[in-house]
């Protein structure tokens, strides 16, 4: 029986970086995947303009088609300023989407990421997905985003993976989605380079005895 999967990301490109291979595998398995992007991803930049926003959205729609995501939701909140909003301003629109889609599985950011929008995204998900009676959400996973998860102060809410998804057959699809976000990617040896993302997938896979994997922190599982 197919499941409904929701990826809640602070910015478009985080979904491909954090769980692009897993998204592709869910789709291949017959699940329906949706993505929510909280912040616009560009308004904090000195050269921000409508063209930059259009380019970012065009890239995210290209990645959506590559990964097989059914629909992207864009909340358009201020980039790198989610902490300037009352949490309820982030939670309420997210709750509406969750009520509409009724996902069983949710993927989102790790609460210890360096990027403040990532941390708020995690908190918003945990608030919107409270385990109240009748909630559709049965599983919540936190993913790692290179150039944020590993860059915070050592010892501050470290990302400790406790499960993984085999993406051996989907790593090339993830790479294609990342290339759609070419303006956001960097050259090796930058942490957010395709070479490093491949290396991370290979490392995560080797930890679990497989060729390539995305690692996650299981936050909640109800069976």
Structural domains of the chain sorted by starting position, each given as residue range(s) with its CATH number in brackets = 4-221 (3.40.50.10320)
Q: What are residue 178's phi and psi, to 5 degrees?
A: -65, -35
Average pLDDT over residues 137-152: 97
d(CA 120, CA 111): 8
Cβ proximity of 125 and 94 under 8 Å: yes
Asked if 216 and 164 touch (Cβ cutoff 8 Å), the reply is yes
Global pTM reads 0.96
CA distance 218 to 169: 22
Report the percent of the chain where pLDDT is more than 90.
90
Handedness of CA 22, 68, 178, 17 (dihedral sign): negative
Checking if the pLDDT of 51 tops 80, the result is no
pLDDT reported for residue 44: 64
Q: Is the pLDDT of residue 75 over 80?
A: yes
pLDDT tens profile 159-218: 999 999 999 999 999 999 999 999 999 999 999 999 999 999 999 999 999 999 999 999
- Please provide the DSSP assignment of 151-184 as one string: TSPTTSS-----EEEE-TTTHHHHHHHHHHTTTT
**Predicted pLDDT of residue 17:** 98
For the segment 3-17, the average pLDDT, to the nearest whole number, is 98
The pLDDT assigned to 143 comes to: 98
pLDDT, one tens digit per residue, over 33-49 is: 999 999 986 766 656 66
More confident residue, 53 or 114: 114
Q: What is the separation of C-alpha 131 from the centre of its chain, rounded to a whole number of angstroms? A: 21
Mean pLDDT (the chain) is: 95
**Beta strand pairing status for 105-109 and 71-77?**
unpaired
Measured between alpha carbons, how far is 195 from 222 in angstroms, rounded to an integer?
36
């Amino acid at each position: 029986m197919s499941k409904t999967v929701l990826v809640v990301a602070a910015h478009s490109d985080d979904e491909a970086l954090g769980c692009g291979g897993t998204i592709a595998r869910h789709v291949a398995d017959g699940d329906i995947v949706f993505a929510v992007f909280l912040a616009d991803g560009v308004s904090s930049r000195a050269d921000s303009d409508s063209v930059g926003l259009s380019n970012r959205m065009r890239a995210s729609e290209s990645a959506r088609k590559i990964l097989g995501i059914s629909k992207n939701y864009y909340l358009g909140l201020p980039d790198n300023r989610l902490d300037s909003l009352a949490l309820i301003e982030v939670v309420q629109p997210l709750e509406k989407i969750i009520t509409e889609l009724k996902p069983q599985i949710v993927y989102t950011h790790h609460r210890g990421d360096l990027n403040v929008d990532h941390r708020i995204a995690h908190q918003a998900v945990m608030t919107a997905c409270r385990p109240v009676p009748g909630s559709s959400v049965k599983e919540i996973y936190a993913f790692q985003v290179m150039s944020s998860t590993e860059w915070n102060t050592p010892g501050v809410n470290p990302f400790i993976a406790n499960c993984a998804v085999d993406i051996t057959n989907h790593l090339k699809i993830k790479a294609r989605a990342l290339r759609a976000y070419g303006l956001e990617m960097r050259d090796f040896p930058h942490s957010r380079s395709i070479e490093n993302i491949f290396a991370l997938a290979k490392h995560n896979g080797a930890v679990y005895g497989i060729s390539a994997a995305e690692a996650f922190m299981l936050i909640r599982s109800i069976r």
